[in-house]
Amino acid sequence: MEEKKSVLKQWILSAIKHRSAKELREIFETIPNIDIAEAISDVDDPKLLLYIFRVVGSEYSAEFFAELSSEQQEAVINVFSDKELMEIISDSYADDIVDTIEEMPANIVSRVLKACPKDLRGDVNRLLNYKENTAGSVMTTEYIEMKDSVTVKEAIANIRKNGRDAETIYTIFVRDNSRTLVGTVQLSDLIFSKEDDVLRDIMDKDFVCCNVNEDQEEVAKMFKRYDLTAMAVVNSESKIVGIITIDDVVDIMEQEVSEDIAHMAAITDMEDPYLKTPILKLVLKCVPWILALMVLQVFSTMILSGFENEITKFAILAVFTPLIMDAGGNSGGQTTTMIVRSLSLDEFSGKDYGKVVLKELRVAAIIGGIVSVFAFGWLMFEMSVGIVNTDSILERIAITGGNYNAYMAMIAALVASTLFVTMIISRMVGCSLPFLAKLVKLDPAVMCGPVTTTMVDVISLITYFLLWTQIIGPQLGF
């Protein structure tokens, strides 16, 4: 991949150097635009880029322009003549223009807007006004809309005439006399229908559409659910104002996933590529969470600290606390992750909470059983072979007498029974918090992991030390 990219770069640069328009055109004919743009992504000499635009045909230039980095776009716009800029812009889709100018300085924005034909400028301005992450902000305004009384023959003629500017001609949106969206027709339906069929009779009435203010995540879910390639976006009067196409949805899906993953790992977000994110921004994404989690830990610190006396008297107790806390954190994290993912895939809704808790309770009981039996054996092994220092046991026996093996077994049993409780609590808390978050309309992915860990830490530590002070300690003469 890397090699192919560098070879392609050499080829393009050599074609530019030799002023070989023919060779450059051949490159554009046989190689996808995105690959070309990526190969020359570090070329920022506007003169080289300008040469490409001058020789490459208009069937490639607008799309190629959209694939350039925003630095390159800015450089090129600065050297374009007004006429050249106008040509590129009028071949571009409104949503691509919005993407371009959103990151540009004001003088570039105004040059680009001036270069837009009047209709397009209106569309661009309107798109710029929709709230981020709504259907309105990702839709485009180049679509084909026809009246329901149009015949198939007229429809095809209309597409031939006006379709070149549309983002897709495969879905045609059908409206009635009051301009209300009433159906969709696929181009394939037109191809398979008779010439004098009327759209009203062949259109799909079971189409879906969304409101301009719909969240883009919901839009992506609808595309997936209904296997769509294009969907109408309507205003509150059911009139179509734009469309969203599947290629935009693929980008939305990726963005939403990055957001979910970031939240689960307690990072503010990951909207920009890592290498392009400034150092200080990376720090700001991470550090508040680390500090917040440290503050949250005050509860487990208090408990540990409250049992300091027991630790002083029998330090081996402190050796096993991280093991218990980590096992609880891992187990809670597993549950939270499964539930958050299922919620975000709409596998179940709030009212399935009862079913989930019941299932988790049974899973947790089995896991608790397995983990505590394993932990008992593993701790006996660790203590027997000397991985864990047993000086505190030996000292104790020297003072009070008692059987060394019985001591080991009692400690292993203490940890094992604490783990049993921990496994149950961690899965109960881990499966409940995402539902609770959803109920109060928070993103279930945010903070559920850390809060689960904190709660499980507290309950496990209390269980551990209570079991010790009330039951096992006294048995061993503490």
Among 370, 439, 466, 471, binds a copy of itself (CB under 8 A): 370
Pairing of strands 230-234, 240-245: antiparallel
Measured between alpha carbons, how far is residue 244 from residues 208, 210, 217, 248, 409 in Å? 12, 10, 13, 7, 65
Measured between alpha carbons, how far is residue 474 from residues 9, 401, 416, 464, 477 in Å? 77, 14, 18, 14, 5
Which residues touch 432 (CB under 8 Å, ≥6 apart)? 353, 357
Taking the complex as a whole, the smallest distance from the CB of residue 440 to a copy of itself amounts, in Å, to: 19
Distance between CA atoms of 87 and 83, rounded to whole angstroms?
Answer: 6
Nearest CA-CA partner of 124 in 165, 86, 171, 89: 89
Among 106, 279, 398, 399, binds a copy of itself (CB under 8 A): 279
* Piece of the chain touching a copy of itself by CB under 8 A; list 86-94, 95-103, 186-194, 465-473: 186-194
Of the two residues 253 and 467, which places its CB atom closer to a copy of itself in the complex?
253
Within residues 15-44, the interface with a copy of itself by CB under 8 A covers 28-34
Taking the complex as a whole, the smallest distance from the CB of residue 111 to a copy of itself amounts, in Å, to: 27
Within residues 156-175, the interface with a copy of itself by CB under 8 A covers 156, 159-160, 163-164, 169-170
Does residue 351 belong to the site contacting a copy of itself (CB under 8 A)? yes
Residue carrying the six token digits 């505590």: 372
Taking the complex as a whole, the smallest distance from the CB of residue 110 to a copy of itself amounts, in Å, to: 29
CB-based contact 336:449 (threshold 8 Å): yes
Structure tokens at 162: 């006006």
Distance between start and end Cα atoms, the chain: 67
Does residue 226 belong to the site contacting a copy of itself (CB under 8 A)? yes
CB-based contact 142:166 (threshold 8 Å): yes
Which three-class secondary structure state does DSSP give residue 196?
coil
Of the two residues 72 and 336, which places its CB atom closer to a copy of itself in the complex?
336
* Piece of the chain touching a copy of itself by CB under 8 A; list 87-95, 108-116, 130-138, 248-256: 248-256
Of the two residues 135 and 249, which places its CB atom closer to a copy of itself in the complex?
249
Of the two residues 34 and 471, which places its CB atom closer to a copy of itself in the complex?
34
Within residues 420-439, the interface with a copy of itself by CB under 8 A covers 423
Taking the complex as a whole, the smallest distance from the CB of residue 198 to a copy of itself amounts, in Å, to: 16
Within residues 258-277, the interface with a copy of itself by CB under 8 A covers 258, 260-262, 264-267, 270, 273-275
Taking the complex as a whole, the smallest distance from the CB of residue 113 to a copy of itself amounts, in Å, to: 26
Of the two residues 136 and 329, which places its CB atom closer to a copy of itself in the complex?
329
HSE-up of residue 267 (Cα within 13 Å, Cβ side): 14
Taking the complex as a whole, the smallest distance from the CB of residue 103 to a copy of itself amounts, in Å, to: 18
Taking the complex as a whole, the smallest distance from the CB of residue 442 to a copy of itself amounts, in Å, to: 19
Within residues 194-213, the interface with a copy of itself by CB under 8 A covers 205-206, 208
Distance between CA atoms of 450 and 313, rounded to whole angstroms?
Answer: 32
160-166 long-range contacts (CB < 8 A, ≥24 apart) are 166/142
Of the two residues 120 and 316, which places its CB atom closer to a copy of itself in the complex?
316
Of the two residues 45 and 247, which places its CB atom closer to a copy of itself in the complex?
247
Taking the complex as a whole, the smallest distance from the CB of residue 129 to a copy of itself amounts, in Å, to: 26
Three state DSSP letters for 84-142: HHHHHHHCCCHHHHHHHHHCCCHHHHHHHHHHCCHHHHHHHHHHHHCCCCEHHHHCECC
The strand pairing partners of 140, in sequence order, are 243
Give the per-residue contact string, 391-410, with a copy of itself (x = CB under 8 A; - = no).
Answer: xx------------------
Does residue 473 belong to the site contacting a copy of itself (CB under 8 A)? no
Of the two residues 90 and 255, which places its CB atom closer to a copy of itself in the complex?
255
Distance between CA atoms of 164 and 160, rounded to whole angstroms?
Answer: 8
Show the beta-strand stretches assigned E in 148-306.
171-175, 181-186, 209-211, 230-234, 240-245
Among 286, 380, 436, 442, binds a copy of itself (CB under 8 A): 286
Taking the complex as a whole, the smallest distance from the CB of residue 439 to a copy of itself amounts, in Å, to: 14
Of the two residues 85 and 144, which places its CB atom closer to a copy of itself in the complex?
144
